[in-house]
C-alpha cells in the first residue's frame, strides 16, 4: 500500500489558501480515481482506492498544520511497513508558483507541518512532493499572512495546471516509480509561448 498525505488546515477560511495546496492536490487525485475521502480515523479524513494496480490510501490530517505529525505517525504505523511508501504533499514558499519538487527524503526546511512530521516519525526518510506557492507579488516579511492568503484570480490558471501535474506525479509514485516522477516533474514545465 501507498499512503499519500496532503497537508492543510481545516475550516472554510483556509480552503483555497496557499497553505492548503496539499489538500487541493490530494482532492484532485481522489477525484480522478473516484476515491471517497470520507472516513474519519486517527485525526484524519481518509479514503482508499486502486491506482495503477495498487492500493492507495489518501489522508488529510484534521489537526492544524503545525500538529500534522501525530496523525501521520498513527497512519504510518497502521498501514505501512516502511516510510518509503509514504508521500507527503505540501506547499513550499521557497519555490516559484506551481513549480514541483519531488524528493525521496530531506529536511523539513521552514515548513512547520513537515517539522511536526519529522519529529513524530523520528526520520527524514520519506518521499515528499513540494508545490511552489511564491507568487510574483510575494511581500518579504509577511510569510505567515501570505501563506494563509488565497491564490489570486490571476494565479489560479497556473496553480490549476500545477495541480494537474502534481496528480500525474502521484500516479507514478503509486506505481512505485518515484525516480521517474522526479525525472519528469522536477524539471520546469516548458514555456507555452504565446504568438
Q: Which residues are catalytic?
A: 19
- Contact by Cβ (8 Å): 171, 52: yes
- What's the order of all strands across the beta sheet hosting 44-51? 39-41, 44-51, 54-61, 2-6, 86-96, 128-134, 100-103
- Contact by Cβ (8 Å): 10, 39: no
* Closest to 170 (Cα-Cα) out of 9, 32, 20, 41: 32
Distance CA 106, CA 74 (A): 21
Query: Helical H runs in 33-155?
Result: 69-79, 112-121, 143-148
- Other Cβ atoms less than 10 A from the Cβ of 194: the count is 4
Amino acid at each position: 500500500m501507498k499512503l499519500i498525505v496532503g497537508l492543510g488546515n481545516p475550516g472554510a477560511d483556509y480552503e483555497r489558501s496557499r497553505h492548503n495546496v496539499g489538500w487541493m492536490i490530494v482532492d484532485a487525485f481522489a477525484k480522478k480515481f473516484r476515491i471517497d475521502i470520507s472516513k474519519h480515523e486517527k485525526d484524519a479524513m481518509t479514503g482508499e482506492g486502486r491506482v495503477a494496480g495498487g492500493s492507495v490510501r489518501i489522508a488529510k490530517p484534521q489537526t492544524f498544520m503545525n500538529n500534522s505529525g501525530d496523525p501521520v505517525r498513527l497512519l504510518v504505523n497502521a498501514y505501512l511497513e516502511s516510510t518509503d511508501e509514504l508521500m507527503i504533499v505540501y506547499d513550499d514558499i521557497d519555490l516559484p508558483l506551481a513549480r514541483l519538487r519531488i524528493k525521496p527524503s530531506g529536511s523539513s526546511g521552514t515548513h512547520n507541518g513537515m517539522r511536526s512530521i519529522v519529529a513524530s516519525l523520528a526520520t527524514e526518510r520519506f518521499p515528499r512532493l513540494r508545490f511552489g506557492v511564491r507568487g510574483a507579488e510575494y511581500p518579504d516579511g509577511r510569510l505567515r499572512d501570505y501563506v494563509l492568503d488565497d491564490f489570486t484570480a490571476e494565479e489560479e490558471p497556473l496553480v490549476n495546471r500545477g495541480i494537474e501535474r502534481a496528480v500525474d506525479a502521484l500516479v507514478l509514485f503509486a506505481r512505485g516509480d518515484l525516480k521517474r516522477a522526479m525525472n519528469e516533474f522536477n524539471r520546469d514545465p516548458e514555456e507555452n509561448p504565446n504568438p
